[in-house]
Every structure is written in C-alpha cells, then in structure tokens.
Structure 1
Amino acid sequence: MADKREKWILMAVLPFIAVLLLAVWSVKPRVDEVRTIDSKAGTWDLAAAGFEQSAVRLDGDVEYVPDALLSPEEFSRRGDIQAGQPGDETQYATSRMRLIIPSGSYLICGYSVDFASRMYVNGELLFEAGAPGDSRESARPGVKFFVLPVSPDENGEIVIVQQASNFIHKDGGSYGHFYIGTPEQIDQYISRNLWPEVILMGVYLVLFVVHLILYLMMRNYKPNLLFALFCLTWFVRTGVTGQRLLDVILPKLPWVVLFRLEYLTMPLSGILLVWLLYLIFPGVLQKWFSLAASILCGAVAVLDVFASTLLISYTAVWRVVLLGVIALYFFVRLILRWRRPAAEQAAVLSGFAFLVFAAVWDMCYHRDVFLLPALRFAISEVAIAVFVLFAMTAMFFGTMREVRMAREREERMAAEKAAAEELARLKGEFYTDLSHEMKTPLTVMVANAEFAARNIRAGAIDEETGVDLDAIAAEGRRLAKLVNGLVNLNRMRDKGAQDTVVSLAKLTEETARTYKALAEKQGSRLSVEIESGLPAVNGNADQLAQVVINLLANAGRHTRDGVITVSLRRESGRLRLEVADTGDGISPEILPHIFDRFCRGDESGTGLGLAICREIIENHGGKIDIQSDMGKGTTVWFTLPVIGE
C-alpha cells in the first residue's frame, strides 16, 4: 500500500520538477532571439543591424597573422595578413576585427580566446586573460568572460585586435565570436544566462547540505552520503563551466585549477553514480563491476590531478566513452534482471530516461530540428539537474523507508525489552511457585523421617512407623511427578524440527484404545466418537498424544463408575477434540486458574498437566478451554488448524 502511494506521488512530483527546471532554463536567450551576422574578410557591416530590436552575435572569419604577437600598429604594417580562422596547429597569433557600426555606446561580451589573450579596442588595451606568449614558458594561461564598453571612432569603426596563444590544450579557440548590443541588451543577455546557473548551483549546494545532514542523522543509509557528494561535484562543475561562476566567486583561483576541476568532476561523478546505482538497485550491478569501474574512473581522476593540461585535453572523448560504457552495462543488467521497481528506483530510472531524451533533443537541436518550436535551446545541462532532483526524490523515499525501519527496530527492541522483563517476572514467579510446591512434600518427608527415626532408635517399631515411611514414599513419588512434569514442559518447547503431517483421528483412536482398559478398571466406560473423513494437521505427534493422554488421565482420576467421552469433529476449518467426563467437576474458585502451572484440583496431581497441554496446543496454532460443574463433570476441548486452511 505504501509503495503504491509513493508511486502516485512520483507521478505528480516528477513531471512538475521537469517542467519547473525547463521553465527556469528557458530564461536563457534562445538562438532566434539574437541575430547572427557573418563577416566578409574580417569586416562586419553592422550599419543596418537594427540594434533597437536585439543584440547581434558576430561570427565568421577574421584577419590574422600566425606565429606573431603584435600591437595594433604593428599589425597594420604587416604584409602577411590572412583571412580566416587560425587553426589548432597555430599556437599563437594576432587577429583583427573591423566593425562598421552606427555611432553610439555599445557593450561587447564573450569569452576570451582559449587559452591566453590580450584585447585592444581602437588601439587601447582593455582586457587581458592570462598572458599570451610565443612559448610554453613565456605564456601564462587564462580564460575569462569579458564585458567591455565600446564606441566607434571618427571613421564609424570599432577595430578589435587580439593576441592569443595556446600551448596547453589540443584545441585552439575561435576568434571573433562576440556579442554586441546596447548596454541594456547586453545586460539583459548576461543576466538571462547567469541566473539559471546561479539557481542550479544553489540547488546543488542546498541538496548537498541537506543530504549530508540526513546521512549524519542516519548513517545506515549510505545513498544519502553518495548523493550529497554527487551534488557537491555538480555544484563545482556548474561553477567552472558555462558562465564560470566559480571564477567570479574566487577570482584569484588559478586558471589551471579551474581547468582541472572541470575535467575532474566527470570521473568523480562516475564513481559516485556507480555506487549509488549499486545500492539503490541491489543485484543489478555486481560488486566486482562497481570496483572495476571505480578503479578506472579513479585512474582518470589521478590523471586530471597530476598530468599536463595538454594530455588531459586528449582524454575528453575517452572519459565520455567510459561513462557511456558504465551506463550501457547498467541498462543491460537492468533489462536482464528486470522486476517491478520500487518508488526510489522508479525515480532514478525516470531521471535516466530524461537524460536519454535530452541527448536526442540536443542532437536534433544542433541540426536545426526543433521538436518543440517554443523551446529552442539545448537541454543537456538542465537534464543533469532534472536527474539530480529525481534522484533527490529517490533519496527522500529511501530515507523515509530507513526511518520506518529504524522506528520498527526501536519498537521491536522495546517489545523485546518488555518481553525480557516479563520473562524475568515469570521466572521469579516460577521459582517462587516451585519453591512452595517442593517445600510442602519436603517438609512432610522430613517430619515423617524424624518420627520414623525416633521410633527405630527407641526400638518401638509399630504400625505408625510404617505409616510414616509410606508418607515419605508418597511425597517422594509426588516430587518425582513434579520434576517429570517440569522436564516435559521444557522438552515440549523444542518441537519445531519434529513437526510432521499428523492424522489426529488415528492418533486419538489409538490413544483412547490404550487408555480404555484403565478406565474400565475404575468402573468407567470410555466412549470414542470420531467423525469420518477428517483432514490431517501439522504438528508433533508425540506432543499431541501427550495432550490427549493428559486429558484422559485427568478425566479418569476424577471419574468413578461414570462415562468418559472422547469426540473429534471438524468445525469451521479446524479440528475440535473434546474429552468430557461425568466425574467430580472443578470448583469455581479453581476453574479460572486451572491452566496455570502448579494449580491442582486435588492433592493427587502436580499442577503441570494442563499447563503443558495449553503450551503444546498454542504452539501448534490452536486454542484450548475448559468447562466444569461441581458434581456433574468436566469438558476440556482444543482446536487445531487443518493443513491447507
């Protein structure tokens, strides 16, 4: 019932989470909201760009001089200027962009050229990211997001000269990919790009703190710790990619640290995700696979920490392949071992399904195929956030289940403590009763032994001496019965391994036949009434025979020249056995306590027979009861469940 309710909650909550995050991500500027204008031989004609409507994205070729770091003046004097984009094989170059634009104040924004750059606008140095150089030793890498105020010169042009170098990555950066517009347009563009990522970082950080606290409160539920670390990892990754907010928060953090963190978060995510799936989907991922995947991801992580940035850049594709193989293996194992998922498993699988959907969506998007025209943007980044929040829902259900289990453990421990206290109380009562029951015959035996000894020493052995010795023997026999009953009571509790299919009808008939001669010797008649075609019961034949013998012995002890009737019949899916007699009956004062240990109807018994009968019957899943009228007789009956009902 609880699992069904949880799945109804999932059906309501998960779509809401996905729609909410898509709504947040849709705040980011769409492709069709910004005009893209291409250059012609390094010159952009923006005279009719229509800045009153939207900002403009600059794309296309630039003028450049390879293998040279030049000032604007030096660039103008060069005769080897080329048009196009410096390729990845060009490790350092200087480029120039000419923007023909109406007069006014503008802002340009974008990321600096990878992986060190210096920018001049109309001959004035306005921006540096790292320090471009003509060798690995002289260059200092750095990448930053820039926002610069610009205005056309007296010729109506904005001339941008950039020096850039790259000795630390296999891919070179693109030159000339900027956004330009009025200050209001660029400010809005930056804000719309910035705030969704701020929200995501905030969500990751909050989830990290919350689930870390949950883990500290309930250390038995390890997925909370893994999920908290996964959220922290993606908090860092979101901060070092996209708008690089971590660079804004920690401006003095070296670029190489940010670079390593960007790559390091992938293998760390792989390790955490593998063990999270191992715990949430028990039996799907084998432990050896989780260990092997962790070792491989760990090796990649060590590479990200200690290897050169150039070597790390060559592993980008392989780390994606590694994570893809892990995901593929998980899905294959999941299909092979498929069973109806629990609520937390359904939430994680829904997150994975959304990731697959996002991958297909982005493939279509980058080929200008829009599955939903209203949502013209890539969703891979938001898909990770959706997966994280779906997993958060799974952690919620898992934590609640752990809370329920902890509560049940506490209740079970409380019940066990109460049972132990009750056992101690009963044990005390048992020893008290036992002491009392044994004290009486021992006292009689001691007294009679003293009388007999006195007579023997005095040489006055007479009939009274014989009576004293007979009394000692009688009390000894009573003590023997008492001890025998206690042994039977203890032996009766160890019955589980001896349970078999028992024909209670046959057992009753054989036991009654054995007891019939004894009843006739006492002048009583034993009548047996067994319904035909009765089913069997499950139990211990010796113990059930002991119950019937005890009941017949009690009836015979209290019946002289009367009738003892044994009957067995089926009644409401159970077998009911009755032993009725026409004997003395039991007094109303004793009757309510007749099944208690050491409760006797007369001095001839031990007070353990009916107590043993009750424990045997109750341990077989049955019930036993008694009815008696003084001077009219007693009826004892018990019921047992039949096999299959």
Structure 2
Amino acid sequence: MYAWEKKTMGGKWMVGNGFKITGVRGRTGISGAEMQLLWIALPLMLIFCATVWLIQGSLPITAVWSENGMWDLREIDFSSTNVRFTGKVEYIPNALLTPEEFAEHEDLAEIVDTYGHTASYGTSRIRLLVPPGTDYVVSESSPLASDRIYINGAWMEDIGTPGADREAAVEGDVLFSYTVRAEEGVIELVQQVANYAHRKNESQSGYVVGTIPMMRAFVSRTYAVAALLAGCFMTLFLVHITLWLLFRGYRANLYFALFCLTWVFRTAVTGPKLVTALFPGFSWFATFAVEYITVAVASVLYVLIFGDMFPNTMQKWFRIFLTVSSGLFIGCHFVLDSMTISRFLIYYQAVMGLTILYVLVRAAMKIRRVSLPQVLFLAGGGGMMYATVRDILFYRDIFIPPYGAYANAPLSEMALLLFVFLQMTAVFIGTIREMDAVRLKEQKLLAENAALERLGRLRADLLDTLSHELRTPLAVMMGYAELAVKELRLKGLGDETTADLDAIASEAGRLAVMVEEARRMTLSREAAEHKKTFLLQEVIQQTARLCQPILERRGTALSLDLSSDLPAVYGSPGELTQVMFNLLSNAGRHTEGGRICVSAEETGGSICVRVSDNGSGISPEFLPHAFERCAHDDPGGTGLGLFICKEIIEGFGGTIRIESRPGKGTEVIFTLPVCEEEMNHE
C-alpha cells in the first residue's frame, strides 16, 4: 500500500515502499491536469462500481449447505431473501433416469459432490423442504454440456440432449428459470446430465431458489448487471479506439481498447449468457469457443499493456513465446473438439501461471520508479488478482472478505470493472503525457525552423547584396573592356593585347551571369518575401541609365517609348531589373553602331514590353533553343542570360518570346500581368 509523503526538492514523490513516483520519459511530478483527471475519474469509477455491486447484492442470498442431498429451508424467510443451495447430491452414475426410475433405484445412489466426478453421464436428485402452499422459482445456468430437468416429477426442459455416448449427446447452455408450486412443502429436482465437452464435471447443486417476486428481481438484475458491464466495456472500447485513431503514437490506447472489446464478448457468453438470451439458436460450441478464446486474447493484451506501461521489463523472446502459445491455443478451437480443447486448457493455464511469475520477477528486477499511471495499473491488477482468488474459493464454499450481505456475491466482475476504470485513467494520463511530449517536440521543431528561416533570410540578404554590388561593377568592366578592345584594334595595336582584353571582357560577363545564377538558385524560396507592387517604367528607366554609357561608346543608340500611365505590377523589382539588364546587354553585344528601342504599353490586363534592335540577329537553327539552359551561339557566352529571363518572367505569371531574322535584328517580347489591386481599382 502506498503511503504518500511531501514532495521532494527534485519534484519526485516518495512512497512508503521505497519506489519513487515519477513521470514517463524522464518527466517528474504530476501535472495539475493529471491530478484533476484523477480526482474526477476515481470518484466516478468508484461510484459506478459501487452501484453495480449494490445492484448485484441488493437482494440478499442465503447460502445453505447439505451433506445428504436434502436441504431443509422451512425456517427461511423467503419474503426477504433468496437461497443458494450447495453441497452434495444423490447421484446415480452411468444412468439416465426419470424421477420414477430414480426412486426405484435410489439404493444405488451415491451422496457426492459431482464436481470432478469421473462419470460422463448420470442422474442426480435434489430435494428441498420449503414452506408449503407457495410458488417458487428455481434458477441457474446449465452446469454441464447437456441436461434434462424434471421438477416434482414433471419434465421441464431439455438443455441440449443428454446421451449415453458422444454421438447421442447434443450440447446446450442457457440460464433457466422454472416456476413450481410446493403444495406439500417439497421441491424435487431430478437432472439427467451428460458431459462429453468438458474435462471435468461441474457441481449439480449451486442453484438459487426463491419466491416469484424475489426471483424475478434476482434474474432481471442479473441480466441488468451483465448488460451494464457489456455496455461499459463497449463504451470504453469506442473511446479508446477513437483516441488511438487520433493519436496512433500511443499504443496503450489500442491495447486497452481491444482488451475492453474482448471483455464485451466474454461478458456476453458467461454469467447469465446474454448471447443465448438474445439469440436462442446461437451455437453452443461458438459460446464455448468465445469463452476460452477471450481468456487467451485478454492474457496477451494484458501483457502488452504491462509492457507498454513498464518499458524494458518484457523481453522480446517472452512476448513471442506468449503470443505463439496463445495463438496455438486459439487455433485449437478451429480444428479440435471441445473435450480435447478443455484438456489442453490445463497446459495453457500453466502458460498463464508462468506468465504471472515472469511478470512478477521482471517487475521486481526492473522497476525502481513508478509513474502515476503505473501505480493505477498495479492497484487495479492487485485488486483483480485478489477478487479472482476470492471467487475461486467462493465457488468452493470457502469465504474470505468481504463478509456480510455481500458474502454470497461474486467479486470478479466488480474487480474487473474497477481494474478497467483504473486502467482507463492510467491510459488517459499516459495519453496526456504523450501529447505533451509531442507538443514539446513540435514547439522545439518550430523554434528550430524559425532559426533556420532567420539564417536563410540572412543568407538571402547577403547574397542579394553581394549580387547587387558585384553585378554593376562587372557589367561596367565588361563594357569598357569591349570598348577598349575596339579602340585598340582601330589604332592597330598587337593581337596579344586585344586578346587579353577580350578574355577580361568574356570572363567578366561570364562571372556576372554566374553570380546572378547563384543568387537566383539560392533565393528561389525566398523570392516571394521580396515581392511588392512597383511601377515598371521606373525599373526600365533605371536600367537604361545604367547601360546607356556603355552602349554609346559602341555607337549604339538607346531609345525608350513608354506610356506615361502604365499600371503597377506585382513582383520583385530586382528580378525585373536583371531581366532588362540581360536583354539590353545581349542587344548591345550584337548591335554595334545600330539602334536599340524599348517600348511598353498596356494591352488587355497586362503590360507588353518590347526590346528590339537592328543588329546581327539570331540564326534560325539556334532560335528554338534560345531559352534553354547553357544554350548560346556566342563563343564567350554562358547560355544562362535568356534562361534566367524566362524563369523570372514566368515567375511573374507572364510570357516571353523572341522574333529574329539574321542580319535584320532581334525583338524580345514579354508580358507581365497588371497588379490585381490596380485592376480592381479600375
């Protein structure tokens, strides 16, 4: 039992047995949200479990034992209690007898407890001495695979068909309730029983008898409790499978959801057997198989939950061993008969015993610190184990606490429900912690992304500045180097000098294009951040002023024909400056002593810009490849200028094309969409 103490300086909680209560994944302490959930969930689950137990135990049941097959109940006040009669019965093995035949051969009867009796079939007789002149109800589930029941000499029902051999017997199982009037103060119950389906015979006593009002309440509340448990398990299944679908990283939700679904099926085929009450024709063997299979499935899921709750405690080889063993046991139900399966059950029970022992040993070896969800899991598991042992002894008429009015009520259902609710709370808390961990990771990732974005912007600004600062000097160097070559050749200087200047001009041009290409490749993702609304004519005029001195030295005239009312465009002014610079540089390189004209006008929601010259033109063979990367017809070119222009213009949402005739000149036409704000304003 845990003894809570004050919180330590380290944020951990000490408990009386030396363990420390901590969080999962290195987190210590218990958050306010977790404590609120705990204080809300625990009272609710305790109230629910207490309600179910009160419903189940609200009608007192008095247990009466017999040593001779006869129960004297004449002193019982049946107006306030029902009676469960247990003990030894009169039994004639290896004979299926009617009440009359049993009376004729009663000297052959044994006074025995039929539990574990070796006979496969036989007939038992139970006699109850009750207050006369009252209607009574006898109720219980069929104890064996097939029964034929007589009460006071009258045949009541065949539950299956008892037979003297396996071929003649037909199995059946149902919760029965029979009404009988004890005119003479005696209720005689004769049962023909046959068991070819189970490894051991069950006790043929243990039934409940009472008056009609008391037994009606008993039966209805028995069904109500079973239905309530099944509904509770189904609700928990739906809740936790939904949590798993929304948050698949936390597998405990999946394991727990499947565990609850398993107990929905088990609750339907055990106790009052809801499935046979709802579907009378439901297969007996299917009921038998579901009852056994759910044990194996629940065992595996319980171990998976334990392994998820206590990481590093379950070794891989043991998980494989348990899964294979359970799988083989489950597979037996599809190929073997019920008798063979029930015999194999003892081996699977041995596997379950080894599992419990293994879990206890590994827990003792590995667990040093426990979190709040783990404490809840251990508390629920401990309560479930105690209730299981208590009910095993209860059905053997050995009683341990609780005593009093509830001493004759089974405890396993309530303990299972309490375990499920505790596990539900533990899984909820675990889900909260996993979500917190994911949230922290997301916040860390967002912070890292923000830092990377800041670095990216700094890099973009640096490259943009370098490109801008290097581009103009390189263009000037290239232009003046070309002019120097031309003038030196006119003056007749040596070819070596002019060749060196040609190399300077060529390399300067290539370096300028490479700088711009590096800038564009690096800043492609950040381009949107530099976009804005601007006037196109200002960019054209600024670029023309930059290039005009170089063109004039070559004897090339540059003229502008721009509409005065051109609307604004949206994009990066720097990128469009690069387009105009590349186009004017190309035109100037192929037009010496000629004329270059730049015009711009608005046409149908876009601006059309034309850069035309009367230079040497472009050959028809090269013209289709002019915008391809690294394509050029100039020995000193890089083939990147027009490629970059096309990328930029298309990034604006525009188009670009070239028209050219060799010896007549070239015209580059590109369009840019008008800014939407301008269009809306118009």
Residue in 2 that maps onto 1:65: 92
Per-residue CA deviations over 1:22-55 (Å, capped at 9, x if unaligned) read 4134326659933334457444343333323322
SS in 1 for 2:148: strand
5 Å matches for 1:506-521? none
User: 2:178 aligns to what?
Assistant: 148
Equivalent pairs counted in the alignment come to: 475
Using the alignment, how far apart are the partners of 1:54 and 1:411 within structure 2?
64
Aligned to 1:570: none
> In 2, are the aligned partners of 1:361 and 1:371 still within 8 Å (CA)?
no
5 Å-filtered alignment, 1:32-431, equals 33-39=60-66, 41-78=68-105, 80-85=107-112, 86=114, 88-101=117-130, 102-153=132-183, 155-358=184-387, 367-370=398-401, 376=407, 377-407=409-439, 429-431=461-463
**How far 1:73 moved relative to its partner?**
2.9
Change (3 A) 1:298 1:151: same
Q: Deviations over 1:128-158 (max 9, x none)?
A: 21111111000111222111110024x4433
Question: 1:433 is matched with which residue?
Answer: 465
Residue identity opposite 1:46 in structure 2 = L
CA distance in 1 between counterparts of 2:368 and 2:143 reads: 51
Deviates more, 1:451-460 or 1:397-406: 451-460
Which residue in 2 is equivalent to 1:449?
481
Larger mean Cα displacement after TM superposition, 433-442 or 412-421 = 412-421
CA contact (8 A) 2:234 2:261 kept: yes
Q: Which moved more, 1:213-222 or 1:442-451?
A: 442-451
Q: Please report how far the alpha carbon of residue 447 of structure 1 lies from its aligned counterpart in structure 2 after TM superposition.
A: 4.8
- Which whole-Å CA distance do the structure 1 matches of 2:206 and 2:384 have between them? 29
Q: Deviations over 1:411-456 (max 9, x none)?
A: 6676677677767666654443222211232234335535654564
Percent pairwise identity: 34
Q: For 1:66 and 1:258, how far apart are their aligned partners in 2?
A: 27
* Per-residue CA distance 1:283-342 (angstroms, 9 max, x = gap): 221222212221122122222443221122224443333223223323322332224334
Give 1:544's aligned residue: none
1:83 and 1:439 map into 2 onto residues whose CA distance is 114
CA distance in structure 2 between the partners assigned to 1:361 and 1:127 by the alignment: 33
Matching residue of 2:554: none
* TM-superposed deviation, 1:21: 4.9
Shift of 1:10: 6.5
Q: What SS does the corresponding residue of 1:105 show, helix, strand or coil?
A: strand
- Displacement of 1:235 in angstroms is 1.2
Do 1:112 and 1:144's aligned partners in 2 also have CA atoms closer than 8 Å? yes
SS state of the match for residue 26, structure 1?
helix
Equivalent-residue separation in structure 2 for 1:292 and 1:103 (angstroms): 61
| Displacement after TM superposition at 1:396 (Å) | 1.5
Residues 449 and 79 (structure 1 numbering): CA distance in 2 closer, same or farther, change over 3 Å?
closer
1:141 aligned counterpart, secondary structure: coil
Q: How far apart are residue 68 of structure 1 and its match?
A: 1.8
* Matched letter for residue 247 of structure 1: T
- Inter-partner Cα distance in structure 1 for 2:224 and 2:150: 30
Once residues 396 and 363 of structure 1 are traced to their aligned partners in structure 2, the CA distance between those partners, rounded to angstroms, is: 32
**Shift, 1:180, TM fit:** 1.7
Write the deviation string for residues 44-75 of structure 1: whole angstroms up to 9, x where unpaired. 34333332332222334433332222223333
Contact 2:240–2:257 (Cα < 8 Å) also in 1: yes
For residue 272 of structure 2, give the secondary structure of its aligned residue in structure 1: coil
In the TM superposition, what is the alpha-carbon distance from 1:99 to its structure 2 partner? 3.3
Deviations 1:202-240 (A, max 9, x none): 111111122222222233333222221111111111222
TM-score, length-normalised on structure 1? Answer: 0.64
Q: Deviations over 1:563-599 (max 9, x none)?
A: xxxxxxxxxxxxxxxxxxxxxxxxxxxxxxxxxxxxx
Secondary structure of 1:306's match? Answer: coil
* TM norm structure 2: 0.61
2:600 is matched with which residue? none
Counterparts in 2 of 1:394 and 1:11: CA distance versus 1, 3 Å? closer
Q: Retained in 1: the 8 A contact 2:86–2:207? A: yes
1:97–1:161 contact (8 Å) kept in structure 2: yes
> Does the CA-based 8 Å contact 2:59-2:82 persist in structure 1?
no
The residue type paired with residue 218 of structure 1 is: F
Q: Contact conserved, 2:252 with 2:305, CA < 8 A, in 1?
A: yes
> How far apart are the structure 1 equivalents of 2:109 and 2:41?
54
Counterpart-to-counterpart distance in 2, 1:3 and 1:160: 60
Change (3 A) 1:443 1:25: closer
d(CA) in 1 for partners of 2:249, 2:67: 65
Change (3 A) 1:65 1:449: closer
Tell me, in whole angstroms, the C-alpha distance in 2 between the residues paired with 1:52 and 1:283.
58
Relative to structure 1, the CA distance from residue 423 to residue 177 in structure 2 (aligned partners, 3 Å threshold; closer, same or farther) is same
Distance (whole Å) between structure 2 residues aligned to residue 403 and residue 99 of structure 1: 62
Task: Tell me the CA shift for residue 113 of structure 1.
Answer: 3.7
User: What are the residue-to-residue correspondences of 1:574-613 with 2, within 5 Å?
Assistant: none
| Cα distance between partner residues in 2 of 1:59 and 1:12 | 43
**CA separation of 1:335/1:177 partners in 2, compared to 1, >3 Å: closer, same or farther?**
closer
Distance 1:206 1:300 in 2: 29
Q: Where in structure 2 are there 5+ consecutive unaligned residues?
A: 1-27, 523-682
Q: Distance in 2 between matches of 1:361 and 1:79?
A: 36
1:306 and 1:412 map into 2 onto residues whose CA distance is: 55
SS at match of 1:180: strand
Q: Distance in 1 between matches of 2:348 and 2:129?
A: 44
SS of match in other structure, 1:108: strand
Distance change >3 Å, CA 10–CA 323, structure 1 → 2: farther
Q: Distance in 2 between matches of 1:34 and 1:49?
A: 11
Compute the displacement of 1:100 (Å): 3.5
Q: In the alignment, residue 50 of structure 1 is paired with which amino acid?
A: D
- C-alpha spacing 1:409/1:173, structure 2 compared with 1 (3 Å): same
After superposition, the Cα gap between the structure-2 partners of 1:32 and 1:414, relative to the gap in structure 1 and judged at 3 Å, is: closer
Are 1:115 and 1:143, in contact at CA under 8 Å, matched by a contact in 2?
yes
Per the TM alignment, residue 371 of structure 1 is displaced from its structure 2 partner at its CA by: 5.7
